[in-house]
């Protein structure tokens, strides 16, 4: 634990030198190692979620097809205030649950970087760990704050500002999950040091994450399900960014399997 604080203090004092080409190259290398298993996990989770959603809709609504159509075309901006609050809370909770799965995917990338055997079970590792709970709380707060501000900006017809804010928040919090699962930091420390590290090279990191997010999202063009096999690339980018800034050392990881 002392080593990671020493490294974070060093970054604060000396700044960062980020080689985006190296990050992209290493991310792609790790991606080729985890893409099959991580993609299948994401596809399986999506299918289970779809089945559960279908069961809930079919058992609670008289006209499931019409209900599903309304859900797809729903516009939260037309909600009453209490409905919008409930919607934001549920959406934030769902995002937070997904972030625990993301943490597992980042761990898969970390295992690949150390040439360890890639296991599909690793994707679900943090659902039973204390730092997985921290990941949930952290991303619930991030999503709750951003979504609330985003809808407020959209109400004011400032959609472009909302989009820019999304890029900034995603970048400032990009290292929160790795700091929680590898650095074993508290939630407040993870927020603080993620923003601190990113602020040492903000334009480079924002560009890196935004550009690679677009690349990862390109999978939706391949019969939609392709997104499940391109999205893991983004998890690799987050892992390599953390590795090349904070550092992925064995002593940072010693508690994750306990």
Distance between CA atoms of 77 and 50, rounded to whole angstroms?
25
Taking the model in full, what pTM does it have? Answer: 0.87
pLDDT digit string (tens) for 54-79?
A: 887 777 776 767 766 666 677 777 88
**Residue of 130, 238, 106, 147 whose CA lies nearest to 187:** 130
Task: Classify the C-alpha dihedral 75-76-80-83 as positive or negative.
Answer: positive
In the structure, what pLDDT confidence band is assigned to residue 219 with cuts at 50, 70 and 90? low
DSSP string covering 76-88: GGGS-HHHHHHHH
**Does 148 have pLDDT greater than 70?**
yes
**Does 37 have pLDDT greater than 90?**
yes
pLDDT, mean of residues 138-150 = 93
In the structure, what pLDDT confidence band is assigned to residue 225 with cuts at 50, 70 and 90? low
Q: Which helix (H) or strand (E) holds 124?
A: none
What value does the CA radius of gyration of the chain take, rounded to a whole number of Å?
19
Share of the chain above pLDDT 70, in %: 88
pLDDT, mean of residues 24-41 = 93
Distance between CA atoms of 32 and 37, rounded to whole angstroms?
10
Q: Is 194 in contact with 179 (CB distance < 8 Å)?
A: yes
């Amino acid at each position: 634990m002392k080593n990671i604080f020493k490294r974070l203090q060093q970054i604060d004092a000396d700044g960062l030198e980020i080689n985006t080409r190296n990050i992209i190259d290493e991310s792609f290398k790790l991606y080729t190692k985890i893409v099959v298993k991580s993609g299948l996990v994401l596809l399986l989770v999506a299918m289970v979620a779809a089945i559960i959603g279908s069961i809930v809709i079919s058992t609670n609504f008289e006209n499931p097809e019409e209900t599903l159509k309304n859900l797809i075309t729903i516009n939260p901006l037309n909600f009453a205030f209490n409905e919008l609050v409930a919607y934001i809370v549920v959406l934030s909770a769902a995002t937070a649950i997904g972030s625990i799965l993301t943490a597992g995917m980042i761990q898969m990338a970390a295992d690949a970087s150390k040439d360890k055997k890639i296991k599909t079970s690793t994707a679900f590792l943090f659902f039973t760990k204390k730092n997985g709970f921290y990941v949930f709380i952290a991303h619930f707060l991030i999503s709750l704050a951003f979504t609330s501000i985003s809808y407020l900006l959209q109400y004011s017809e400032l959609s472009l500002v909302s989009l820019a804010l999304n890029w900034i928040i995603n970048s400032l919090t990009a290292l929160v999950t790795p700091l929680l699962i590898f650095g074993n930091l508290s939630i407040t420390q993870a927020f603080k040091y993620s923003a601190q590290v990113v602020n040492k090279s903000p334009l480079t990191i924002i560009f890196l994450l935004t550009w690679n997010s677009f690349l990862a999202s390109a999978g939706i063009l391949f019969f939609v399900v392709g997104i499940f096999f391109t999205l893991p690339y983004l998890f690799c980018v987050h892992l390599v960014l953390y590795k090349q800034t904070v550092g992925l050392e064995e002593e940072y990881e010693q508690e994750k399997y306990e």
